Chain A
Amino acid sequence: MIELLLIGIKVVVVTLIVFALPLPLTYIERKVAGHIQVRLGPYRVGPHGILQPFADMVKLMFKEDIIPAKADPWLFRIAPVIAMVPAFAVFATIPFGEKVTLPFVNYEVNLYISDMDTGILYVLAIAGLSVYGIILGGWASNSKYPLLGGLRSSAQMISYELALSFACIGVVMIVNSLSLVDIVKAQSGWHWNILYQPVGFVIFFIAGLAEINRIPFDLPEDEGTLGAGYHAEYSSMRFAFFMLTEYVAMVSMSILIVLLFLGGWDGPAFLPGIVWFLLKVAMLIYFIIWTRFTYPRYRYDQLMSIGWKILLPLSLANILITGLIII
């Protein structure tokens, strides 16, 4: 009974935190963008613009919810939800740390909702579902730019999901387990997988950037050539759902990279594990934001050729060499 209650509490807490995360992330992203471009970024709302995300949230809520006349109303309404739900569902298996003892009540709690035996498979499968929301959103808008964005997204997913999964296989071969908790435990004591799988790490990172539609692979919402791509026709809260999905995907991809390659909550003992974990994730998120304002966008054919001609053969070779070394 208390176990069930605990799981319920964990689900609520994780969902609330993940729901709230895009607020600071949009602010950080705009601030970093501003300073990289020798501007100030948001500055007017609150001291140093700290209340800007709340103002944006209120603005989005009060905007008119427009459905284009020729759009498919049912698909148009459901697409943001299809995009958003998998982004949250991923967090069901993501571990944030090992057992901690709660103060005052002296009760041991696992810092994850569930430790599936096939955790990494689940995460990859569910995270891949998010793209259906993008494709359907682009399709249902019945407008050329969203349609092109949606089509690009589907092609991009096919090219990158493979490399992403193959890059994980090297890690799985070393650790001999698909469970994310086991993968982190196997890396404890500075045996981080990035040291044994550097090529796998690079492939996973690049394919991950493509998976979460970040520059240099943000072709589905290419501001320069597609207006806003798949969400060009969306406004109000439906648009907010798409934005939310994007930021949550960025967080979950950073978490996944930390778990698979950067040792999870492993670190020097003077700080608790969860702090190391959050620090690593924050560094990766900063890095992803930083790359967004450094690199231009790849052309569509370049994106495909990188995916099929470079990343896929490289990840296969990586698996082969890892296998040979293990034997």
Chain B
Amino acid sequence: MNGNHHKNNYTFDLKGLLKKVFFVDLIQGLFITFHYTFSKTITMKYPDEETWIPYRRFRGLHTLNRNKEGKELCVGCELCQKSCPTQCITVVPMQDTTGKGIADRVAYRWEINLLRCMFCGLCEDACPTDALKLGRAYELAGGSMQRHLLTKEELLAPQAIPVEFEGGVIVKARLEADETGVKIVPDISVQKRWW
């Protein structure tokens, strides 16, 4: 009976005994879980019904911007290529084949290998004309490697979430599947905050 010496300073605890006899703590616990049963769940119905729109600061798939007149902002300066730590960006400026000189310097090729990209955002910081921006598309899984080598034309296409949209909300979404892969189409008009 070595373990029983601490029972010498035992005092009779009537309240504690009654609490045990009438299962007070257990019933309190039951009320807590009952409350949670009918509280709002925090699970998102992703991807069938809902999807998360990140904030503007999010660094997702690259996008190349145009100005208001619809002209590409990229001037082919190759700074993004030089700043890229993983060397996944290839920029080739337009060559003067006319002999008379080109008025505007633009990129001839602007390619990115997303398989190597680590989405650090240094290219975005290096860009002098705000042409390059890391957008908010993050569902980048695909069936082939080829899908991850994106060209200028694909990056110039506007992304599903406009720049003006602040983000940080759950929106209604739709899952679209075809032979090229699956795509989640967000509908930013229907929003909900999850907290």
Q: Which residues of A contact B (CB under 8 A)?
A: 32, 34-40, 43, 290-291, 293-295
List residues 25-62 of chain B with CB under 8 A from any CB of chain A: 26, 29-30, 32-34, 36-43, 45
User: Contact between A295 and B37 (Cβ–Cβ < 8 Å)?
Assistant: no
Known: A293-B33, A294-B32. 13 other contacts (CB 8 A): A34-B41, A34-B43, A36-B36, A38-B36, A38-B42, A38-B43, A39-B42, A40-B45, A290-B33, A290-B34, A290-B37, A291-B30, A294-B29
Which A residues are in CB contact (< 8 Å) with B34?
Answer: 290
User: Contact between B45 and A43 (Cβ–Cβ < 8 Å)?
Assistant: yes
A35 vs B42: C-alpha distance when bound (angstroms)? 10
Which A residues are in CB contact (< 8 Å) with B39?
Answer: 38
User: Contact between A36 and B33 (Cβ–Cβ < 8 Å)?
Assistant: yes
* Smallest CB-CB A-B distances: 5 pairs: A294-B33, A40-B43, A35-B37, A36-B33, A39-B43
Q: Pick the most buried of B26, B29, B39, B41: most chain A CB atoms within 10 A of its CB.
A: B41
User: Contact between B30 and A35 (Cβ–Cβ < 8 Å)?
Assistant: no
**In the complex, what's the smallest C-beta–C-beta distance from B32 to chain A, in angstroms?**
8
**In the complex, what's the smallest C-beta–C-beta distance from A39 to chain B, in angstroms?**
5
User: Contact between A38 and B41 (Cβ–Cβ < 8 Å)?
Assistant: yes
Which A residues are in CB contact (< 8 Å) with B30?
Answer: 290-291, 294
Give the contacting residue for A35; candidates B29, B32, B36; CB below 8 A. Answer: B36
Which A residues are in CB contact (< 8 Å) with B43?
Answer: 34, 38-40
* Number of residues on chain B facing chain A (CB within 8 A): 15
A295 vs B30: C-alpha distance when bound (angstroms)? 8
A317 vs B21: C-alpha distance when bound (angstroms)? 15
Which B residues are in CB contact (< 8 Å) with A291?
Answer: 30
Which B residues are in CB contact (< 8 Å) with A37?
Answer: 36
A32 vs B37: C-alpha distance when bound (angstroms)? 7
A36 vs B26: C-alpha distance when bound (angstroms)? 16
A108 vs B45: C-alpha distance when bound (angstroms)? 51
Which A residues are in CB contact (< 8 Å) with B29?
Answer: 294-295
18 contacts between A and B (CB under 8 A): A32-B37, A34-B43, A36-B33, A36-B37, A38-B36, A38-B39, A38-B40, A38-B43, A39-B41, A39-B42, A39-B43, A40-B41, A43-B45, A290-B30, A290-B37, A293-B33, A294-B33, A295-B26
A38 vs B195: C-alpha distance when bound (angstroms)? 12
A40 vs B42: C-alpha distance when bound (angstroms)? 8
Which B residues are in CB contact (< 8 Å) with A294?
Answer: 26, 29-30, 32-33
Q: Residue on A with the closest CB to B23?
A: A202
Which B residues are in CB contact (< 8 Å) with A39?
Answer: 41-43
Q: Residue on A with the closest CB to B30?
A: A294
**In the complex, what's the smallest C-beta–C-beta distance from A96 to chain B, in angstroms?**
28
A37 vs B40: C-alpha distance when bound (angstroms)? 11
Which B residues are in CB contact (< 8 Å) with A295?
Answer: 26, 29
**In the complex, what's the smallest C-beta–C-beta distance from A292 to chain B, in angstroms?**
10
User: Contact between A35 and B45 (Cβ–Cβ < 8 Å)?
Assistant: no
**In the complex, what's the smallest C-beta–C-beta distance from B99 to chain A, in angstroms?**
63
Which A residues are in CB contact (< 8 Å) with B45?
Answer: 40, 43
A265 vs B188: C-alpha distance when bound (angstroms)? 54
Q: Residue on A with the closest CB to B49?
A: A43
CB within 8 Å for A35 and B41 given contacts A290-B33, A290-B34, A293-B33: yes
Which B residues are in CB contact (< 8 Å) with A293?
Answer: 33
A39 vs B36: C-alpha distance when bound (angstroms)? 10
A39 vs B42: C-alpha distance when bound (angstroms)? 6
CB within 8 Å for A35 and B26 given contacts A40-B43, A43-B45, A294-B33: no
Which A residues are in CB contact (< 8 Å) with B36?
Answer: 35-38
**In the complex, what's the smallest C-beta–C-beta distance from A273 to chain B, in angstroms?**
29
**In the complex, what's the smallest C-beta–C-beta distance from A38 to chain B, in angstroms?**
5
Interface string of B119-157 (1 = CB under 8 A from A): 000000000000000000000000000000000000000
Which B residues are in CB contact (< 8 Å) with A38?
Answer: 36, 39-43
Which B residues are in CB contact (< 8 Å) with A34?
Answer: 41, 43
A40 vs B30: C-alpha distance when bound (angstroms)? 19
Which B residues are in CB contact (< 8 Å) with A36?
Answer: 33, 36-37
A33 vs B45: C-alpha distance when bound (angstroms)? 17
Interface string of B86-105 (1 = CB under 8 A from A): 00000000000000000000
Which A residues are in CB contact (< 8 Å) with B41?
Answer: 34-35, 38-40
Which A residues are in CB contact (< 8 Å) with B33?
Answer: 36, 290, 293-294
**In the complex, what's the smallest C-beta–C-beta distance from A296 to chain B, in angstroms?**
10
A294 vs B33: C-alpha distance when bound (angstroms)? 6
A34 vs B37: C-alpha distance when bound (angstroms)? 8
Q: Residue on A with the closest CB to B38?
A: A35
Q: Residue on A with the closest CB to B40?
A: A38
**In the complex, what's the smallest C-beta–C-beta distance from B158 to chain A, in angstroms?**
32
A97 vs B36: C-alpha distance when bound (angstroms)? 35
Which A residues are in CB contact (< 8 Å) with B38?
Answer: 35
Q: Pick the most buried of A290, A291, A294: most chain B CB atoms within 10 A of its CB.
A: A294
